[in-house]
Structure 1
Amino acid sequence: MIVNERPVIANSLWTATANQPAPRPAVEGEVRADVAVIGAGFTGLSAALHLAEAGVSVAAADAQHPGWGASGRNGGQINVGLKDGPAGIRAKFGEDWGGRMIRMAGEAGDLVFDLIARHNIACEATRPGWLRAAHTPKTLKGLHALAAEWDDHGGGMDVLSRDRMAALTGTDAYQGGVIDRRGGVLHPLNYALGLAAAAEAQGARLFGDSPATAIEAHGTGYRVTTPNGAILAEKVLICTNAYSGDLDRPLAKSVLPVRSVQVATAPLSDNLAASILPEGNALSDTRRLLLYFRKDAQGRFLMGGRGTYNDASTERQIARLKRVSTELFPQLEGVEWPYAWGGFVALTCDHYPHLHQLAPGIMTGLGYNGRGVAIATAMGRVLARWAGGAAPDDLDFPVTALKPLPFAFARELAVEAEIIRLKFLDRLGL
């Protein structure tokens, strides 16, 4: 079970099957470093690792422990790219920045697998490819156009017919789609724990049970206060994503934390497992309230989708995910579902990640919109480059002004209303 979490979303498969983490005590007294990292999810851990590899002194503190938030709870799908294809990115951000972002996003999967290989991270990582499955002819056309765009930017996506999608998934529910050969799967919590261990092996210092309660100017740098001490550093990286809380209210109000929930079966029999995703791919479909599913290394089937803030409706969503699973794969009827859990992902208005400089020595990256495994890892490297001395104009992602969402004061009502609207559109097939 995930400690210090609401019971309805605490029964995580990843927590139950995680590697043994190293003890990481709370910050006590004053800790000095060149860079303080707040938050030990994929972004913060990647930043800490890249800084340590570059010889920069870094101290990272998490309110709970590495991987406690969405980084240790997600579906473990390595899906590269951003909201739009290359053409849309260039149209929005221009040739220069657009080109950098396309390269960063397209290579994000390579970065994940390189880190896993170089640091011997045991996280059940495989790279069979990530499936995007179209549930309507219209979305199928869009996916095929996206694959054609990537052909002009290094490739990576192959078009799949309806029959080929059915062969790869074990269901004929989809019109077809694409396979992104750059994608794959892993055990997300073990990946986070592996990044933490790798960062420490390179000299980074990691602390648990140390929520940052304030960031204040101190000499030429900053003082990051925690309940039992403080980190003194020249620069600060805020890597809290959907879990920013009260540390920086404008930052927390710049994204919409949305609960995503998952369910998982007990290990399936060999015959049953072979009938679902036989080549081990992960899949996300094109519904507005998308479904995403895969198997883990032991043959468990995992299904995920959008949850809500309300525990009762989240329980109904958990029941729905089990029902949808058996609709797609009738052979799952009667299997045990011992796991159900969830966490918050951070959505942005434009559905792109955001990189903000909050003060001369403070930078943050957040808002991965469901693509956090690969893109958060890549954003951590961007933040490390900045903290190591790179100018904002030399980064691979543009630094933009922080803009709190206009409806942040009523975000729970807004999310509930939006879910109802999107469900309606999905039912109409629009």
Structure 2
Amino acid sequence: MGTRRECAVMDAARLAAGQSLPPSLWAATAISGPPLQPLQGAQRADVLVIGGGYTGLSTALHLAEAGVDVCLLEAHQLGWGASGRNGGQVNPTLKYDPDELERLFGPTQAEPLIAAISGSADLVFDLIARHGIDCAPVRQGWLQVSYSAKGVPGLHARARKWQARGVPADCLNASELHQRMGTRAFAGGWRDGRAGGIQPLSYLRGLAWAARAAGARLHDRSPVTGLQSRNGHWQATLADGSSISAEQVVIATNGYTGALWPGLERTILAANSFIVATEPLTGEAAASILPGGETASTAQRLLLYLRRDAEGRLLMGGRGHFDDPQGAGDFAHLERSLELLFPQLGKPRYSHRWAGRIAITRDFLPHLHEPAPGVTLALGCNGRGIALCTSLGRHLAARLTDTGADFPYPLSPLRPIPLHRLQRFYIGAGVAWYSLLDRLGG
């Protein structure tokens, strides 16, 4: 068995051999990103950001706008991870509602967190407007729905909690959902008017254009193989011997976190989310499905999420097995679900199937760690990456430029999940258990 350094170099070589974005609807239809080159030679920066997803690019953009010399390194191409493979829903929520966050953190600490989360979709759509990002933004709200009448009161209570805070939210019954969704499968739910949908890879590339225009240095195909503290700075090294030194480092690798920082990858479970997209739908039957442009997801533990895209395709996502998909058969469960929900479509043709890994934390909260002076670790979006990670990046940039700045996200110690090597078992057992509870209505 090789040393940690030898393994890191071999991993970097494998990364360098597979730079292309995985096939997906978003990779096929996204705007072009800025032309980038790998890092070369020995360089310096005030802040080094490792990871070219939403968190990393939002951090780099906001730092550059504040006049900070920031360099971002991405191992593959920008958006290679979940930022280029998600469902494109911009949802300003966590698993927990405001009252639950107050119980977890106390009112004083919870209120800034609630405000940051609640405003995260505003931030996304403001950035899109300010930088003219061509990502097909639609902001018509998000529907969270329940198959079971037993689950509806809880969703209506959720809507009322947000209504009390001035959020545009509506309680919906089965008939109203039928009109909004085009299916009779759901007993009720609620609508969050803050939410919307975008072309997620185009949004990411728009952030990259904006960050570079603001002065950020962006490099793709630059996997970091080592990170060491030297003379009050952190030095990141690459497999080809290139390096960069910085006073501050942000590691924002989320569901694709590796062994760069000891123990970090063992703090999350990297679960697969699978997505299918139909060919563009036309006709009366198609027009009945999500005619108002909302996105939607089920409230059951093993959620399904769905939306229409700018070309009229219907997308459905949900759980997948732990391994990456090998063929169309791995997506059959999603296609069956889509066809059961919308029998008026018959058996549609599917143009794209893909998957990506999301970072799930034990407490379903984003994790922010500062394990050493000058190092910040940010990960664990739990499937809410677009809005949450954009907000994280903005607030991280403010914290790095002003240590006295208010920071709404809780910091926590680095705590690896016990027996993390069994994560395949955890995820498989969790899927089976939650599937049983959903069938029982528990």
Same fold by TM-score, threshold 0.5 exceeded? yes
Tell me which amino acid in the other structure corresponds to 1:299: G
Unaligned stretches of 5+ in structure 2?
A: 1-15
- In 1, are the aligned partners of 2:150 and 2:441 still within 8 Å (CA)? no
**1:315 CA displacement:** 5.3
User: Which residue of 2 is the match for residue 333 of structure 1?
Assistant: 346
- In 2, are the aligned partners of 1:59 and 1:204 still within 8 Å (CA)? yes
C-alpha RMSD over aligned residues:
1.8
**1:390 CA displacement:** 2.3
Residues of 2 paired with 1:365 and 1:156: CA distance? 30
Give 1:94's match in structure 2, choosing from 91, 95, 106.
Answer: 106
Tell me which amino acid in the other structure corresponds to 2:331: I
Matched, 1:308 2:328: no
Give 2:228's match in structure 1, choosing from 212, 216, 222.
Answer: 216
Which aligned pairs between 1:52-67 and structure 2 lie closer than 5 A? 52-67=64-79
User: Which residue of 2 is the match for residue 345 of structure 1?
Assistant: 358
Give 2:118's match in structure 1, choosing from 106, 123, 135.
Answer: 106
Matched, 1:406 2:418: yes
User: Which residue of 1 is the match for residue 185 of structure 2?
Assistant: 173
Residues of 2 paired with 1:369 and 1:232: CA distance? 31
User: Which residue of 2 is the match for residue 292 of structure 1?
Assistant: 305
Query: Greater shift after overlay, 382-391 or 115-124?
Result: 382-391
Matched, 1:322 2:335: yes
CA deviations 1:306-356 (Å, max 9, x no partner) are 112235698555111011101000123232112100110000111111111
Give 2:270's match in structure 1, choosing from 253, 257, 280.
Answer: 257
CA deviations 1:351-370 (Å, max 9, x no partner) are 11111112110002111111
Query: Cα distance 1:6–1:258, how it changes in 2: closer, same or farther (>3 A)?
Result: farther
Query: Cα distance 1:409–1:198, how it changes in 2: closer, same or farther (>3 A)?
Result: same
Query: Greater shift after overlay, 39-48 or 245-254?
Result: 245-254
**1:429 CA displacement:** 2.0
Residues of 2 paired with 1:315 and 1:139: CA distance? 33
Give 2:381's match in structure 1, choosing from 360, 365, 368.
Answer: 368
TM-score by length of structure 1 reads 0.95
Residues of 2 paired with 1:233 and 1:277: CA distance? 48
Aligned length: 426
Residues of 2 paired with 1:314 and 1:175: CA distance? 34
Matched, 1:149 2:149: no
User: Which residue of 1 is the match for residue 9 of structure 2?
Assistant: none
Residues of 1 paired with 2:389 and 2:339: CA distance? 32
Query: Greater shift after overlay, 399-408 or 267-276?
Result: 267-276
Runs of 4+ off more than 6 Å = 3-7
Please state whether the residue corresponding to 1:284 is helix, strand or coil. Answer: strand
User: Which residue of 2 is the match for residue 384 of structure 1?
Assistant: 397
- In 1, are the aligned partners of 2:92 and 2:121 still within 8 Å (CA)? yes
Give 1:69's match in structure 2, choosing from 66, 72, 81.
Answer: 81
- In 1, are the aligned partners of 2:264 and 2:414 still within 8 Å (CA)? yes
Residues of 2 paired with 1:81 and 1:158: CA distance? 15
Residues of 1 paired with 2:207 and 2:155: CA distance? 33
**1:148 CA displacement:** 1.4
Residues of 1 paired with 2:237 and 2:67: CA distance? 24
- In 2, are the aligned partners of 1:307 and 1:314 still within 8 Å (CA)? no
CA deviations 1:56-79 (Å, max 9, x no partner) are 110001001111100111000011
Residues of 2 paired with 1:396 and 1:346: CA distance? 20
Residues of 2 paired with 1:52 and 1:139: CA distance? 46
TM-score by length of structure 2 reads 0.93
Query: Cα distance 1:53–1:270, how it changes in 2: closer, same or farther (>3 A)?
Result: farther
Percent identity for Structure 1 against Structure 2: 44
Tell me which amino acid in the other structure corresponds to 1:24: L
Please state whether the residue corresponding to 1:420 is helix, strand or coil. Answer: helix
Please state whether the residue corresponding to 2:267 is helix, strand or coil. Answer: coil
Query: Greater shift after overlay, 38-47 or 212-221?
Result: 212-221
CA deviations 1:75-110 (Å, max 9, x no partner) are 000111211110000010111110011000000000
**1:42 CA displacement:** 0.3
- In 1, are the aligned partners of 2:140 and 2:195 still within 8 Å (CA)? yes
Which aligned pairs between 1:6-25 and structure 2 lie closer than 5 A? 10-25=22-37
Please state whether the residue corresponding to 1:263 is helix, strand or coil. Answer: strand
Tell me which amino acid in the other structure corresponds to 1:398: P
CA deviations 1:215-251 (Å, max 9, x no partner) are 1112221111122311211100011011111212411
Query: Greater shift after overlay, 225-234 or 102-111?
Result: 225-234
Tell me which amino acid in the other structure corresponds to 1:108: S
Residues of 1 paired with 2:246 and 2:273: CA distance? 34
Query: Greater shift after overlay, 45-54 or 270-279?
Result: 270-279
**1:5 CA displacement:** 6.9
User: Which residue of 1 is the match for residue 5 of structure 2?
Assistant: none
CA deviations 1:380-420 (Å, max 9, x no partner) are 1121112213247x311111111111131110111111111
Tell me which amino acid in the other structure corresponds to 1:395: F
- In 2, are the aligned partners of 1:225 and 1:231 still within 8 Å (CA)? yes
Matched, 1:135 2:147: yes
- In 2, are the aligned partners of 1:308 and 1:314 still within 8 Å (CA)? no
Give 2:409's match in structure 1, choosing from 389, 397, 417.
Answer: 397
**1:135 CA displacement:** 1.7
Tell me which amino acid in the other structure corresponds to 1:45: L
Residues of 2 paired with 1:412 and 1:177: CA distance? 32
CA deviations 1:241-268 (Å, max 9, x no partner) are 1111121241111011000000001111
Residues of 1 paired with 2:103 and 2:329: CA distance? 41
